[in-house]
């Protein structure tokens, strides 16, 4: 969409709307204006195609994927299913996104279990902090983590963390909302019980359609948090028997939420995922890494090295200006139409491919000029 001279760096909040996504949504909206005509593609077929596209970004198994309306819905499903007893511990990060906190708070309260939050490690090293907590703290029963911090883009090394979680016999739950579509996800290596992602950030789709990946065990034994008819295998039957519900559909489809057969959302999501696949996740990560590295280099050149976030992901970082300069820097960004997210003393910078590498020097220069 036309953006004038805006430099949009808030993709961790909401993806920029691709023309292809907008066009797909509008076409589906138009088609829906004549509901007496058969749609170009039935919503069920669109959903299955999309499930395949999401699976291709994970482990290739579309039977592992459930469609849900939000990350928190998927995480509530995980919390509902994973065993937790009185006195058990659930390990999370201090300040991790509430969708991956509230379900655990509620589940802990229900079961008499305890939530433990890992604090930010020395120099912002969350991987070392999680590994230390697994070594020295009470052994958790469940470890619920992101791959990338939502607030400053700090990266967690799941290649190192996941094996330790499995060594101690804990369940692993991943919120990939700030990474799926921008960073490769190695589920075969991490072996989580559940993993979720929203669709409207790095998957370039609309709000209201998110994805839940489930380990094989939960695809046969898991309980959904709602009982929607579309998750049942009833053939063409719409009158369900009174005594026994039809069996769940195979795989993770038992966790499919109701109300997601909206052709507009499905068409937009499919267009976003198709573009991610066409670019390739590794290539996206490389290209966005080039942009955030350019920002770090430009901050160094401006004498603002201390503003950098150490260990950030390729696609998200945050400026950390001194508290007394934050207002001035943010105001200068607004004047210059540089759009980023301001939270907790941080200015989160999350570019996508519409951003040129050279734009990053301008961001650092505007920041530096605001402090003079």
Q: Which residues of this chain interact with ligand PLP, rule CB under 6 A?
A: 70-72, 97, 99-100, 146, 150, 175, 177-178, 198, 210
Our CB check for ligand PLP shows the closer of 205 and 263 to be: 205
Q: Alpha-carbon distance 1 to 3, whole Å? A: 6
| DSSP conformational letter for 148 | B
From the CB of 70, what's the least distance to ligand PLP, in Å? 3
Our CB check for ligand PLP shows the closer of 198 and 257 to be: 198
Our CB check for ligand PLP shows the closer of 224 and 294 to be: 224
From the CB of 259, what's the least distance to ligand PLP, in Å? 15
In what order do the strands lie in the sheet containing 317-319? 317-319, 346-349, 341-343
Our CB check for ligand PLP shows the closer of 273 and 367 to be: 273
Q: Alpha-carbon distance 163 to 298, whole Å? A: 37
Our CB check for ligand PLP shows the closer of 249 and 342 to be: 342
31 touches 360 (CB < 8 A): no
DSSP assignments along 212-246, one per residue? EEE-HHHHHH---SS--GGGB--TT--S--SSSPP
CA proximity to 200, closest of 181, 187, 214: 181
From the CB of 105, what's the least distance to ligand PLP, in Å? 14
Tell the residue number behind the tokens 């997601």, with chain if given: 260
Q: Alpha-carbon distance 218 to 78, whole Å? A: 9
Kindly give, in sequence order, each residue whose CB lies less than 8 Å from that of residue 62, ignoring residues fewer than 6 positions away. 48, 51, 52, 54, 55, 251
Our CB check for ligand PLP shows the closer of 97 and 194 to be: 97
Our CB check for ligand PLP shows the closer of 62 and 99 to be: 99
From the CB of 361, what's the least distance to ligand PLP, in Å? 28
Kindly give, in sequence order, each residue whose CB lies less than 8 Å from that of residue 215, ignoring residues fewer than 6 positions away. 64, 191, 192, 193, 194
From the CB of 210, what's the least distance to ligand PLP, in Å? 5
Q: Which structure tokens are listed for 24?
A: 């797909």
From the CB of 77, what's the least distance to ligand PLP, in Å? 12
From the CB of 372, what's the least distance to ligand PLP, in Å? 33
């Amino acid at each position: 969409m036309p953006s004038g001279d805006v430099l949009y760096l808030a993709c961790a909040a909401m993806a920029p709307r691709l023309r292809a996504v907008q066009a797909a949504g509008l076409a589906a909206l138009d088609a829906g204006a004549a509901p007496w005509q058969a749609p170009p593609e039935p919503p069920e077929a669109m959903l299955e195609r999309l499930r395949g596209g999401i699976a291709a970004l994970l482990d290739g198994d579309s039977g592992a994927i459930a469609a849900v309306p939000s990350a928190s819905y998927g995480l509530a499903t995980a919390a509902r299913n994973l065993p937790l007893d009185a006195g058990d511990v659930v390990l999370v990060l201090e300040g991790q996104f509430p969708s991956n906190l509230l379900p655990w708070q509620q589940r802990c309260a229900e079961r008499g279990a305890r939530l433990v939050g890992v604090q930010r490690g020395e120099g912002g090293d969350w991987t070392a902090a999680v590994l230390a907590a697994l070594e020295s703290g009470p052994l958790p029963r469940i470890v619920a983590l992101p791959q990338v911090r939502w607030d400053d883009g700090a990266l967690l090394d799941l290649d190192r963390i996941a094996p330790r979680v499995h060594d101690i016999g804990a369940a692993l739950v991943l919120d990939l909302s700030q990474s799926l579509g921008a960073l490769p996800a190695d589920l075969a290596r991490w072996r989580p019980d559940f993993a979720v992602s929203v669709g409207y950030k790095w998957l370039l789709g609309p709000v209201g359609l998110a994805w839940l990946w489930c380990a094989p065990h939960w695809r046969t034994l898991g309980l959904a948090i709602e009982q929607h008819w579309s998750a049942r295998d009833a053939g063409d039957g719409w009158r369900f028997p009174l005594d026994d519900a039809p069996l769940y559909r195979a795989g993770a489809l038992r966790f499919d939420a109701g109300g997601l057969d909206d052709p507009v959302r499905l068409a937009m999501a499919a267009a976003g995922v198709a573009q991610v696949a066409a670019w390739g996740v590794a290539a996206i990560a490389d290209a966005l890494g080039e942009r955030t590295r350019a920002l770090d280099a430009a901050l160094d050149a401006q004498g603002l090295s201390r503003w950098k976030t150490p260990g950030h992901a390729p696609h998200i970082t945050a400026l950390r200006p001194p508290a007394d300069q934050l207002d001035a820097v943010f105001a200068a960004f607004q004047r210059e139409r540089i759009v980023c997210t301001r939270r907790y003393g941080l200015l989160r910078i999350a570019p996508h491919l519409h951003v040129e590498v050279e734009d990053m020097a301008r961001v650092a220069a505007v920041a530096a000029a605001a402090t003079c």
